Amino acid sequence: MKFGLTDSASDLFAIAMGLFTSADLSIFHEFEPPPTGGGHQFLRALWKQAKVKGLRVENNAISRTTRACLFNSFNFRTSRLERLRRRGVLYIHRVDGPVDVYRGQNEGVDQHIYSVNQKFADKTIFQSRYSMEKHTELGMEFKNPTVIMNAADPEIFHSRGRIEFSQNRKTRLIASSWSDNVNKGAAVYQWLDEHLDWASFEMTFVGRSTVTFKNIRMMPAVDSFRMAELFRQYDIYLTASRNDPCSNSLIEALTCGMPAVYLKSGGHPEIVGGAGAEFDEAEEIPELLEQVIGQYEAFQSRISIPSIQDISEQYLKVLELI
């Protein structure tokens, strides 16, 4: 299996252009247009915050004035980074996963990421303590690691204008996933579809699923603006994803003011803290939902997600740009 992206003539063009352009920070990541997964959304938000700080940012290039380079997991051209790499630039590797654990199949992705880290990185940013410790369990010691959680773009994800919670109507549940990976929790949602009291609940699933539901409303993937609007129209976020290192969807839902009921796995407990209830088996969910409904305002008041401003400042300190 081949990882990353292939060489192209644009590598040579980037080298030439670097002689004439200037930047402080380079982000190596292949951005895709929305709707896309959480990595794209977070790095766009980080880029915006770096510009607010007055920093010049470039993508997949290293110019004559670049001081630091942030390269994301394996979602960039390693050959391009190698060609453009030069002395005097600080190289920081943003890592999630372990990806093979998350996907539930051994394709050698984590070993590839580790080899990239050993070859290029001066420092490593993990998105959760779970991710860092799980890599260590697998025998992978990354370069100078630190943990910095993700954060959502506050211009898109916020709680202003969200619906008021009421026990006098059906409680509105929502789940989402950009991937139909087996570890994204389809079996749990299928159990809920068959067993939840639909006289008391309504639920929407946004994204991809290998399962077709009878009672749960299904919607295709939407962009961040529409996703944020939906989050503000629902009461409780449900996630059953397994070994998810730092779920951006979970962060975005909490940022929009929703408590969460979540599978006790991966980075979920670190993100939610006291703002939700955790389960190991699907059969536990109905009782947990009743707990959250009965103390809704208390759970909601315990939402504590760091702002993108705080997270960006932590990144820029590691990048030694502030």
pLDDT digits (tens, 9 = 90+) for 168-225: 999 999 999 887 777 788 999 999 999 999 999 999 999 988 889 999 999 999 999 9
pLDDT score at 66: 97
- The top-scoring range by mean pLDDT among 11-25, 96-110, 187-201 is 187-201
Domains recognised in the chain with CATH numbers: 9-151+307-318 (3.40.50.2000), 171-301 (3.40.50.2000)
pLDDT score at 1: 43
SS3 letters for the chain? Answer: CCCCCCCCHHHHHHHHHHCCCCCCEEEECCCCCCCCCHHHHHHHHHHHHHHHCCCCEEECCCCCCCCEEEEECCCCCHHHHHHHCCCCCEEEEEECCCHHHHHCCCCCHHHHHHHHHHHHCCEEEECCHHHHHHHHHCCCCCCCEEECCCCCCCCCCCCCCCCCCCCCCCEEEEEEECCCCHHHCHHHHHHHHHHCCCCCEEEEEEECCCCCCCCCEEECCCCHHHHHHHHCCCCEEEECCCCCCCCHHHHHHHHCCCCEEEECCCCHHHHHCCCEEEECCHHHHHHHHHHHHHCHHHHHHCCCCCCHHHHHHHHHHHCCCC
pLDDT score at 320: 98
pLDDT in tens, 27-66: 999 998 766 666 888 999 999 999 999 999 999 999 999 9
pLDDT score at 182: 73
